[in-house]
Chain A
Amino acid sequence: MSIAQTDVLIVGAGPAGLASAIQLKRQGVTRVTVVDREPEAGGMPRLCHHTGFGVWDFHRLYTGPQYARRYVALARELGVELLTETTITGWRSERALTFTSPGGLGAIEARAILLATGVRERPRAARLIPGYRPRGVFTTGSLQRFVDEEHLPVGKRAVIVGAEGVSLSAFMTLTGAGVAVAAMITEFPRDQLYLPYAPAKWWLMDVRHPTPIRTATRITRILGRKRVEGVEVESLSTGQRQVIPCDTVVFTGDWIPEHEVARKGELAMDAGAKGPRVDGQFRTSAPGVFAAGNLLRGAETAATSAMEGRFAAGHIADFLAGRAWPRRRLPILAQSPIIWAFPNAISVSDDPTRLKRVSFRVEKFIDDAVVQVRQGRKVLHEQRFSHLLPNETMRMKGDWLSRVDFGGDPPQVILTG
């Protein structure tokens, strides 16, 4: 097996991986290698043919593919080594990964590794929706591949499961392909099309293609044997079931990090986020291995992932320059109805003054909430929120990080009252 050498090996050429590679080059790192299993670099935005990308990172409004191309071009200009059609298959040693590619098998050994493998949406089977296995069931991702990549036909009348940002993305793809949307359904009592999606929702779903959003509703069955004929839905308030006729169902959101490489490397994982645990410097539990982007905790905007990649690059560069790997760290745990807190670990050497905010997500709408961070019996932080929103990243102050006692139990983020 051939073993190549590089300074930083980045797995995943999406916004997180590419933004990180670009920043590393700018900081003067000599050899930066980005691998991706797809034939083209760019990650998920390559598939989102609608607009809405680039405002934060390029101060321009791009479509997904334009945005992806911009990142790829920048990386190329700066001399990042981009290897496509290269699938990382496992770990050869602590800092060497094995791959398969049309050129054969091999391994790449690096001084530091960044995992940025992104997410996928939980498909129908994983959500245990009973029924036959008819054609016409998609996730947003597969829908976009069908419509925009391969120009394959989808149906005529669709139901979208989910009512958050990505659901609107599915809505645009469907209506763009001439598919009518019968309804959007969400288990929550309200949709989660908060700002910045709210105006787009108003324009698209109220004005242009008036579409009902069924709240407090869950999907209980898919009807149809060969082709979807409808979905059975249940009202969570009355328990009543009803069939919505349609020939297409799109499951949106409900993210699972693409964590195969991370788990194969036995990195410590966060139970709520289902991604590798990282501290404020994007360090995983394995020395020299960093992680960033959607892999950490499900989908945020492309800009958030890119920003994380960029920040991670600074810490990777410091590590290459000799900054010691922390010897002590504690996980930061979350308790239902809080799903995860981020960062989900803290290391002795973290500089808490650089982390002004800790983000977190909750399972449901909660009004007048008090969020506490406790370590053992000690309350490190308490903060009141008038509203906590599901499918939205909430932020609390981060100054409590400096009060963590490394001899104590892991800090817990909980809801009180």
Chain B
Amino acid sequence: MQKIYDVAIIGAGAVGTAIARELSRYRLNTVLLEAKPDVGMGTTKANTAIWHTGFDAKPGTLEAQLLRRSYALMQDYVPEAGVPTEPLGGLLVAWNEDQRQALPALRDRAHANGVTDVRIISPEEVYRLEPNLNQGARGGLFVPGESLICPFTLPLAFATQALLNGVSLKLNFPVHSVKQQDGVTLVEGPEETVRARYLVNAAGLYSDEIDHMLGHHDFTVTPRRGELIVYDKFARSLVNHIILPVPTAKTKGVLISPTVYGNVLLGPTAEDLEDKTNTATSEAGLTMLLEKGRAILPRLLDEEVTATYAGLRAATEHKDYQIRLHAEQRYVCVGGIRSTGVSAAMGIAEYVGELLAEAGLTLTPKPEFKTIRMPNIGEAGPRPYQQPELIAQNPDYGRMVCHCEKVSLGEILDAIHSPLPARTLDGLRRRTRAMQGRCQSFNCQAHITAILAKETGQSPRFLLSLDAGKELPL
């Protein structure tokens, strides 16, 4: 008789991994299914990496409620797990009269959302906070609680903790059909069928398609592409806060923000597409970003570009998250987590737990819920190359492999041998920052490929092809 899990979760992005972690505190057999060779490889790895307060969410929506709850939960979790973060605060800048007049309503909305420290500031204060801004700012809204976060470490932290507390993780498991029989859900991948009593759909861009498999047609996901430009670390001193535009109904707009790795982001664009795999950057998108960047912070454009990328928001025809319990099917759909999912994941996870309980799942806390601590890859805390005690214990922490990002051999080896090990170059990049610096892996990629191959007993040729990733069969 094949094993029947209590809960199967489809999708290991920020949301799916957070749910897995949440359920791992209870006496449950949970399995997390992910199509790709690693967790956090979907939209979760390609966004603007801001830990939102939810100040501008529409009051009364589920999104507003869960962002708020998540913010509180993350206040404890982020430092506990060592997820890189920097509490810089957001500065929303009004560049014309219309935008300036929109500020009071935005402040009132923030206050209604419980983000009560948001305040309107004068043009003088705007320039005091951001002296390098272009001329013409009419005023601003200061949002002290907006922070930077590492969107690579966060899902890894959730997943690692979930694993440590007994969750099973199945990677390279693209679900292509879901059936229900005698109260059991059969989740089918290409090589295996997983059985579970309860099902959670956290498949991001594909959450609508999984939903269809269960007979629902509540929403359609339209991928909304956001392209971004990453500037060199030398641009970091130009920016002190997360510089936000006044949002419109369709998008939060183009922002300029430091990253926890010490770079500066410019983006994202917002463009509705049909292809859920189109994460290419475009000529039009990059050109538009350069124009916006020049208008906001002219000196930014004097610095080198380190990288460009694009992410896809799981937008739907609805204005709110599409989280629904189908109690009779013992099924929770977690869809339409559009542009705030990194920040809301913990709140969503807690809420999904409540919905599952409502459907009859018994949540009995385990006597012990193990905690974890992730390696620091942010600039706010000390990195291994800056720690003499660490290097004294293990000289590999002083042996630089990626010069641009100052990543040591010790960190590379740790990532390859961690509880949730890196198996691809991209996996190493997200765990260590190696290869994501100004030379774009041109100095170290060959060497790192050789290390990864040796440590995992794979051939470099296989690794280079593996890293090309597997296509979703959907």
Answer whether residue B176 sits at the interface, using C-beta atoms and an 8 A cutoff: no
Q: Is A308 interfacial (CB-CB < 8 Å)?
A: no
Residues of B within 8 A of A372 (CB): none
- Stretch among B20-28, B159-167, B434-442 lining the A interface: B434-442
**Quick one: CB contact mask for A232-265 with B, threshold 8 Å, 1 for yes?**
0000000000000000000000001000000100
Beta-carbon contact of B286 and A130 below 8 Å: yes
Mask, A138-166, CB within 8 Å of B = 1, is: 11011001100110110000000000000
CB 8 Å contact bits of B390-413 with A (1 = contact, 0 = none): 011001101110010010000000
In A4-23, the 8 Å CB interface with B consists of: none
Instruction: List chain A residues, Cβ under 8 A from B460.
Output: 150, 152-153
Cβ of B371 under 8 Å from chain A? no
Q: Which residue of B lies closest to A131 (CB)?
A: B280
Nearest chain B residue, comparing its CB with the CB of A134: B468
Q: Return the chain B residue nearest A222 by Cβ.
A: B280
Query: How many Å lie between the Cα of A256 and that of B303 in the bound state?
Result: 11
Would you give the shortest CB distance from B451 to chain A, in whole angstroms? 10
Verify B399–A126 contact, CB threshold 8 A.
no
Q: Is the CB of B469 within 8 A of A226?
A: yes
Number of interface residues of A (CB under 8 A): 42
How far is B408's CA from A89's CA once the two chains are assembled, in angstroms? 13
Assess the B306–A126 pair: CB atoms within 8 A. yes
The answer to whether A85 has its CB under 8 Å from any CB of chain B is yes
Q: Which residues of chain A have C-beta atoms less than 8 A from B282's C-beta?
A: 130
Q: Are B234 and A263 closer than 8 Å at their CB atoms?
A: yes
Question: Please, how many angstroms separate the alpha-carbon atoms of A1 and B391 in the complex?
Answer: 13
Q: How far is the CB of A134 from chain B (nearest CB, A)?
A: 7
Q: Which of A102, A134, A146, A220 has the most CB of B within 10 A?
A: A102
| Docked complex Cα distance between A123 and B469 (Å) | 22
Q: CB < 8 Å: which of A124, A152, A221, A226 contacts B283? A: A221
* Interface contact A102-B283, CB-CB below 8 Å: no
B398 — nearest CB in chain A belongs to which residue?
Answer: A102
Q: How many A-B residue pairs have CB under 8 A?
A: 121
Assess whether A87 is interfacial by the CB under 8 Å rule. yes
B442–A142 touching, CB < 8 Å: yes
> Contacts A87-B406, A100-B400, A102-B396 given: A128-B286 contact, CB under 8 Å?
yes
In the complex, are the beta carbons of B277 and A37 less than 8 A apart? no
CB distance from B218 to the nearest CB of A (A): 31
B410 smallest CB distance to A (angstroms) = 10
A-facing mask of B440-474, CB < 8 A → 1, else 0?
11110111011000000000110010011101000
Residue A101 is within 8 A (CB to CB) of chain B in the complex: yes
Chain A positions within 8 Å of B290 at CB level: 128
A58 CB, min distance to chain B CBs, angstroms: 27
Contact residues of B between 26 and 81, Cβ < 8 Å to A? none
CA of A121 to CA of B439, assembled, Å: 8
When A130-B285, A135-B468, A142-B441 are in contact, do A150 and B446 touch as well, CB less than 8 Å?
yes
Minimum CB–CB distance for A103 against chain B, Å: 7
For the complex formed, measure the closest distance between the CB of B276 and the CB atoms of chain A, giving whole angstroms. 13
Q: Which of B308, B442, B449, B468 contacts A128 (CB 8 A)?
A: B308
Contact B442 A123 (CB under 8 A): yes
A128 to B440, CA, bound (A): 13
* Beta-carbon contact of A103 and B395 below 8 Å: yes
A120 within 8 A of B: yes
State which of A87, A102, A124 has its C-beta within 8 Å of the C-beta of B440: A124
Q: 23 interchain pairs (CB within 8 A)?
A: A1-B388, A37-B403, A85-B400, A89-B385, A100-B385, A102-B398, A103-B391, A104-B388, A104-B398, A120-B443, A124-B440, A125-B307, A128-B308, A130-B280, A135-B464, A135-B468, A150-B446, A152-B446, A152-B449, A153-B460, A221-B283, A226-B468, A226-B471
The 9 closest A-B pairs by CB, nearest first: A102-B395, A226-B468, A142-B442, A123-B440, A145-B446, A150-B446, A102-B398, A130-B281, A100-B385
With A128-B229, A142-B441 known, 6 other A-B pairs at CB within 8 A are: A87-B406, A103-B391, A122-B304, A125-B230, A125-B308, A126-B438
On A, residues with C-beta under 8 Å from B are 1, 37, 85, 87, 89, 100-105, 120-126, 128, 130-135, 138-139, 141-142, 145-146, 149-150, 152-153, 220-221, 225-227, 256, 263
